[in-house]
Structure 1
Amino acid sequence: MSACRPLKRVTHVIFDMDGVLLDTEIFYKRAIQNIASRFGKVYSPQIQCKVIGTPERDSSRIAVEEMKLPISVDSFQNEFRTTAHKYMTNVQLVSGAFKLVKHLHSNNIPIAVATSSSQESFDLKTQNHKDFFSLFSHIVCGGSDPDVKAGKPAPDIFLTCAKRFSDPPHPEKCLVFEDAPNGILAALAAGMQAVMIPDANVAPELRKNAHVVIDRLDNAPLELFGLPSIKGC
């Protein structure tokens, strides 16, 4: 674990989903690389860092532009969606996710999910984890929510999520868990603190914006943010 700046007490917690709660990123990488390989291109770690955490449309645009693929963004998006969704019928929870979420829920800490996925994609990926996701106050699916005008790194999704708590907190009272550089930037732009659980391909310089960096969710130093410690639970 590493921390890079003074930390403040929070009252509410918001989670990204892909790569944080659900182990889906490997499927997205596989789907994009399958498309790229047809054109002799490589979906490099550098491009992955730009794509992770963005809405599907933005992911498609970035992939096409960065790899200079000779297809339209629409064509890429359609193929990407079809290919990725084939893998999403048996997605597993990320290690430590259940323990942390259950701990917060049991201690009456308001928790929610802010994912760049569409509602359709969310329903597909979470079909085997309905009990787990019922622990959250609410879910914001940025890919289809009309109140989320711009995707990460814009702050829209986190601000929308905060407003939908039954007792809407000031943004500075929210703690965000994210795996992607774009997600961390979105949380900071929203005026929130951010804990990063980075993908192995995320370079050290792209981790520096996070308030705290951890290797797994159940190692989160909640007590540093004034929340009940998970240690020893």
Structure 2
Amino acid sequence: MNKVSCSAKVAFKKVTHVIFDLDGLLLAGTFEFFAICAVSDTEPLYTKAAQNVVGKYGKTYTYDIKQRVLGFTGADAAKQVIKLLDLPLTWEEYYNLVKEQYPLVMSDASLMPGAERLVRHFHSKQVPIAVATSSGQDTYDLKVSKHKSLFSLFSHVVTGGTDPEVERGKPSPDIFLVCASRFKDKPKPEQCLVFEDAPNGVQAALGAGMQVVWVPDKQTDENLGKMATLKLNSLDEVKPELFGLPPLKQ
């Protein structure tokens, strides 16, 4: 039986709107720019891109480093990578070198288990849905290029890496508050449910006053997201009715 858990300190409340993270949650094999994503037994595509760059300097882009920059946006995460690996580069140089790798690895992004079914279900039931990703707009466009029909179902997408209204990246709540404000009927934060894979994303969602379903990578320390409203192993396990949303067909 799959393990499903929730924080004892948080009760489920009815919601009306849903916000999804992108990397490691909807898309497999990709990273939020300079952030780790969870991809079961396959090598994350961003790891390959980052390693292609740092390997030239005899360095290894380890899982520990990925965890430390989880959910960060461009400049902040690049600076951390430079510092942690003691690279002889400016953060701008590192940023540009990794970005050059994107066309080589990112267009192969595939959907995570249960992602398409859940998104299409919410859309068919007229539940307002949106995406909040730390990626920049160009990076987002590249990642979803093979799945345009599915991503066209979202009300809107907030790309935190380039959106001027997102002043701070996760774990700050900015991106989720901006995303909620762009739904046509402008729901209150407590009316929004967030789906996240990253501990920094869990913290950001809770900071925004939203409930959050956490779907972490198997390697992630469970203590990092223990305050999530609900923890699942996969989007296949989602039961929308727990939050007052239309149930999935069995």
Are 1:175 and 2:211 an aligned pair? no
Distance 1:224 1:126 in 2: 29
Matching of residue 80 in structure 1 with residue 98 in structure 2? yes
Give the root-mean-square deviation of aligned CA atoms: 1.5
Deviations 1:170-225 (A, max 9, x none): 10111111111111111111111111111233112112121111111121132221
* Alignment gaps of 5+ in structure 1: none
| Structure 1 residue 231 displacement after superposition | 5.4
- Per the alignment, residue 6 of structure 1 pairs with 11
Partners of 1:49 and 1:191 in 2: CA distance: 24
Q: Are 1:22 and 2:40 an aligned pair?
A: no
SS of alignment partner, residue 145 of structure 2: coil
The residue identity in structure 2 corresponding to 1:197 is V
Letter in 1 for 2:23: D
Measured after TM superposition, the shift of residue 15 of structure 1 is: 0.4
Per-residue CA distance 1:68-119 (angstroms, 9 max, x = gap) = 2232111111111111332112221111100000111111111000111111
Instruction: Determine helix, strand or coil for the equivalent of 1:2.
Output: coil
Question: Which stretch shows the higher mean deviation, 123-132 or 54-63?
Answer: 54-63
- Indicate conservation of the 8 Å contact 2:240/2:246, yes or no: yes
- Residue 116 of structure 1 contacts residue 151 of structure 1 at CA under 8 Å; is this kept in 2? yes
TM-score (norm 1): 0.94
After TM superposition, the structure 1 stretch with the greater mean CA deviation from structure 2, 23-32 or 115-124, is: 23-32
Query: Are positions 1:96 and 2:114 aligned together?
Result: yes
Task: Say which SS state the counterpart of residue 111 (structure 2) adopts.
Answer: coil
Cα deviations by residue, 1:42-64 (Å, 9 ceiling, x for unpaired): 32322212223221222212211
1-structure distance, mates of 2:202, 2:145: 27
Alpha carbons 1:50, 1:182 under 8 Å: kept: no
Give identity over the alignment, percent. Answer: 48
Cα 1:85–1:199 change in 2 (3 A) is farther
2:18/2:130 contact within 8 Å kept: yes
**In structure 2, distance between residues paired with 1:70 and 1:212:** 42
Structure 1 residue identity aligned to 2:62: S
* Unaligned stretches of 5+ residues in structure 2: 32-43
Residue 112 of structure 1 aligns to a residue in which SS?
Answer: strand
Give, in whole Å, the separation in 1 of the partners of 2:58 and 2:218. Answer: 24
> Which secondary structure does the structure 1 equivalent of 2:154 belong to?
coil
Q: Which amino acid aligns with 1:178?
A: E
- Distance in 1, matches of 2:85 and 2:12, equals 39
Tell me, yes or no, if structure 1 residue 134 matches structure 2 residue 137: no
Partner of 2:88: 70
